[in-house]
Amino acid sequence: MQIKPYSRRINYYETDMMSIVHHSNYIRFFEEARCDFMEQIGCDVRALEDKGVSIAVVDAYAKYIIPLKFDDKVYIITKLTKMSAAKMEFEYEIRFADSDILATTGRTTHCCVNRSNKPMPIKKADANLYETLQNLI
């Protein structure tokens, strides 16, 4: 399965007083790209939540290489890099759309949890999702 990069434009409100994207927004960009990734593989995150399953963030990391600024057009490559019974790890690359230059890299780790925020196996949450994710590693 070929996952298409997620594209977006940097909004003015995402910048700080130095006219660059505030560091907290990069984690949001990763989330947007990850949700797009899940949609592309056929995972309806809302349907999972309706069944009482959430994909919780365990940790998040970003390395800022070149600052993003208002009106920059970027794309984000999202890759599933690790998976265990209940956890998933994604890696991200944010690149400038016009030059393909790498601006940021990042990583997030997630755990499937039930309504009580207790970890649960991905396979139990959604067997089809588990199978799809296994085929992406």
Tell me the catalytic residues.
Answer: 16
Return the amino acid letter for 33.
Answer: A
E strand or H helix that includes residue 92: strand 87-96
Strand, coil or helix: 136: helix
Strand partners, 57: 110
Instruction: Please give the single-letter amino acid code of residue 55.
Output: I
Radius of gyration of the chain (CA): 16
Give the separation between CA 79 and CA 84, rounded to whole angstroms: 15
Query: 98: helix, coil or strand?
Result: coil
DSSP state of 37: H
